[in-house]
Structure 1
Amino acid sequence: VAGSVGPYGAYLADGSEYRGDYALSHEEYVDFHAPRIEELVAGGVDCLAVETQPKLSEVRAILDYLKAKDPDLPVYVSFSLKDPATISEGLPLTEAVEEVSAYAQVFAAGANCFKLAWTVDVVKNLRASKLPIVVYPNSGAEYDPSVKKWVYPPEAADFGQAGAAWLAAGAKLVGGCCTTMPEDIAGLAAAVKKVYTAFLKYF
């Protein structure tokens, strides 16, 4: 069970988690996140998902806090994106992932809640990373912060078919984010099982 540590931008409820257009001090980020992290840890989570993060400075504050308070708790970090190569605040995704890889308790890094069509390119951009790659896009819908609703594409995506391509590109942890449904995850799980069953027959 992964405890979700979302960004301060989501608390603002104006779409800032997809823009990163806010600025708090290191201490202010810690003050915001610490009580939530403490509740998750007290609840017995196996790891933390520091996810949908648009700003590297916010992630650093979270990881510095965890390094001091709970250094043995596994963590993965997942950024929101401006495009397949850039996190929401404008930094290169590869640079952001390289920075978080310096923290010993981070076991995977990547991106989430971005356009489904970007996924293979996101994975390719991260293949040189020291860490296993985690990706979980949304269903292809786009969030409209002006009305606080998701706008769906005319045709639903086939998550099973798409997921096989993510794995082939080099992703190690895959899933679905906002607007994905149980049937999407079922299709993705089937694709993962098929890929790894084929792989294991050689051993």
Structure 2
Amino acid sequence: MTFLTQLAKRRSIYCIGNNIDMHNNDLEHLILQAIRLSPSSFNSQSSRAVILFDQSHLKFWDMVFDRLSHMIPAEALPRTKSKIECFSMGKGTVLFYEDQHVIKQLQQQYSSYAAGFPIWSEHSTAMAQFAVWLALTEHNIGASLQHYGMLVEQQVSQEFSIPTHWSLSAQLVFGSIEDVAKEKTFIDDHLRFKTFD
């Protein structure tokens, strides 16, 4: 599979299941390698990850729904519950973090660029997230990127003993593909690209 073919194959898959042939150890190795090989500014290697399988995965999404159930209107609760249940039915979730100690050390070491390091940290985690997503896609595993961290970060940190200087960025929930993604549409290229000789 060429890289562009793999890019085209990668989609946000929301209807996922637990029907994956790969063993947890193999999935862990795949995810670790994808993150390890991802680029980072100044070779900071600031990306961190927590991989939740099976019961820990379920526990995380229970936390998310419990928090949401106290925030959203009652009429929106059934739809939200259905959405979270779709995630819960997957195989696992990767929690992506950035190590703030690393960022602060770089800010001190390269003070002229201090303002840029938090931004470049976001670039690093985005590339790590994308690398894991593509690696899962290559093995016909569906995934979608979620952003519920701000709701449950403290609770998750306590539950899974996460260092306080790790900042939660995003969650990639993954599993077997149980339904095809909707057709992807694109805006006109001239609205996005400029080329000069």
TM-score (normalizing by structure 2): 0.27
Q: Which has the higher contact order (CA 8 A, sep 6+)?
A: 2
Tell me which structure has the larger Cα radius of gyration: 2
TM-score (normalizing by structure 1): 0.26
Q: Per residue, is there more helix in 1 or in 2?
A: 2
